[in-house]
Amino acid sequence: MPRAVVKDGLIYPLEPLPADWMDGKEVWVEDNPEAVENPGTSDEWYRQLEESVAEIDPKDFEIIEKALKEADDIEKARMSREMGL
């Protein structure tokens, strides 16, 4: 869901709106009390996340991808057995 701010009684998006949102589309807007109390909290969190991700060794990504593929293969085999294929 896109984030937005209220300024002078109007709502302004902080990021691009989804391509399928045409003029006249009705959308729901919810209050985010944390953002009001701590402006920039989300941006700071995202910046820290990106810094942390940049520090991950590429070899660790390979290990994770291998483990996910192995788990996927195991689950596919299990489902095939259950379905009698």
Residue 69 pLDDT class (50, 70, 90 cuts): very high
51 near 43, Cβ under 8 Å? no
Do 64 and 44 share a structural domain? no
What is the residue range of 4's domain? 1-54
What is the structure's pLDDT at 32?
Answer: 78
What is the pTM assigned to this prediction?
Answer: 0.40
Q: What are 55's two structure tokens? A: 């520090």
Do 12 and 45 share a structural domain? yes
Taking CA atoms, 82 is separated from 25, 77, 79, in Å, by 45, 9, 5
Do 44 and 34 share a structural domain? yes
What is the structure's pLDDT at 72?
Answer: 96
Do 60 and 49 share a structural domain? no
Q: Report the distance separating Cα 34 and Cα 56, nearest Å.
A: 29
Kindly state the percentage of the chain with pLDDT values over 90.
31
Do 34 and 67 share a structural domain? no
Give me the DSSP letters along 27-78.
Answer: ------HHHHHSTTHHHHHHHHHHHHHHTS-HHHHHHHHHHHHHHHHHHHHH
CA triple 77-78-80, angle to 5 deg: 65
> How high is the mean pLDDT of the chain?
86
